[in-house]
Amino acid sequence: MPEPVGAYSPEAQKLFSAQELDLKVDELERKRQDQAPRVQLAQLHKQYVANKQKLAEVRSAIDASQAQSDTMSSDLEALDAQIAREQKKLQASKAHREVEALSRELDGLAAQKNEREERAMQVMENRQGLRTMAAALEKKVAELASAVQQGSAAVKDRNERIVAKQTELAEQSAALLETLDPGLVQAYRALKGASLGAVAVAHYQQRRCGACSVMLPQSLIPAIEAAEALYRCPSCHRILIPAPDEDDAGDGGDAAAEGE
């Protein structure tokens, strides 16, 4: 005959109710440890950093383009001055050869000016495109910054709510266990252990262990059914508690514990 784990009393049902609360605490702990919200937040942050980096690059390209335009316009000014000088020379020229040579030079300078002006225009247009890109990136960076902030507040809030609910449930469980025999509670705690979702107490129903479904040995049945003491399942070692009478309509305790 195995050693009983405690004396039987109707109060022992509280052990099962406490376990239901503790299992909810475990379930919440799993939820709390779920990395998905943090992973999502990290991805959002990564996007934010990447877009901010891209924005910095575009801004520096705008600066470089502005510097290029500045150089180009001083080059153009120098070219204009050269053209003006050559034109003055042309006006003062009498010799046919000199006039021809100066005219050719001025044609060449005009072509050069035309080409440089076109390039300057391209650089300016390109810069306009970069500015449009920068504006879009600024908007995106601001949106992502706010999403990261909201996301991180949501993760924090979620954790706080989970911990608050866990504390509440653990207190309810502790209050139930407090009323029970300390030896029985100790056996329960040892079986429940630290692993999430571990089951320490099972109902026995129709001569079977409610946790592992093993058929309980004949030698144990009379003692269990006489409700003399609480025994462990010989197979899974869980504490066996009589299942509440199925005649008990409603089973309010379970229903209340199920609601989240």
Nearer to Zn ion, 116 or 208 (CB): 208
Smallest distance, Å, CB 212 to Zn ion? 3
Smallest distance, Å, CB 259 to Zn ion? 28
Contact pattern from residue 22 through residue 61 relative to Zn ion, giving x for each residue in contact according to CB under 5 A and a dash for the rest = ----------------------------------------
Nearer to Zn ion, 89 or 237 (CB): 237
Smallest distance, Å, CB 245 to Zn ion? 21
Angle at 67 between CA 63 and CA 71, to 5 degrees: 170
Smallest distance, Å, CB 238 to Zn ion? 5
Nearer to Zn ion, 55 or 202 (CB): 202
Nearer to Zn ion, 19 or 65 (CB): 19
Q: How many CB atoms lie within 10 A of CB 228?
A: 12
Nearer to Zn ion, 99 or 212 (CB): 212
Smallest distance, Å, CB 233 to Zn ion? 3
Nearer to Zn ion, 149 or 213 (CB): 213
Smallest distance, Å, CB 220 to Zn ion? 11
- Please name the residues in contact with 66: beta carbons below 8 A apart, sequence gap of 6 or more: 127
Contact pattern from residue 163 through residue 202 relative to Zn ion, giving x for each residue in contact according to CB under 5 A and a dash for the rest = ----------------------------------------
Smallest distance, Å, CB 202 to Zn ion? 6
The footprint of Zn ion on residues 198-237 (CB under 5 A) is: 209, 211-212, 233, 235-236
Cβ atoms 203, 16 nearer than 8 A: yes
Nearer to Zn ion, 131 or 203 (CB): 203
In angstroms, rounded to a whole number, what is the distance separating the alpha carbons of residues 102 and 231?
A: 118
Tell me how many residues contact Zn ion (CB under 5 A).
6
**Footprint on this chain of Zn ion (rule: CB under 5 A):** 209, 211-212, 233, 235-236
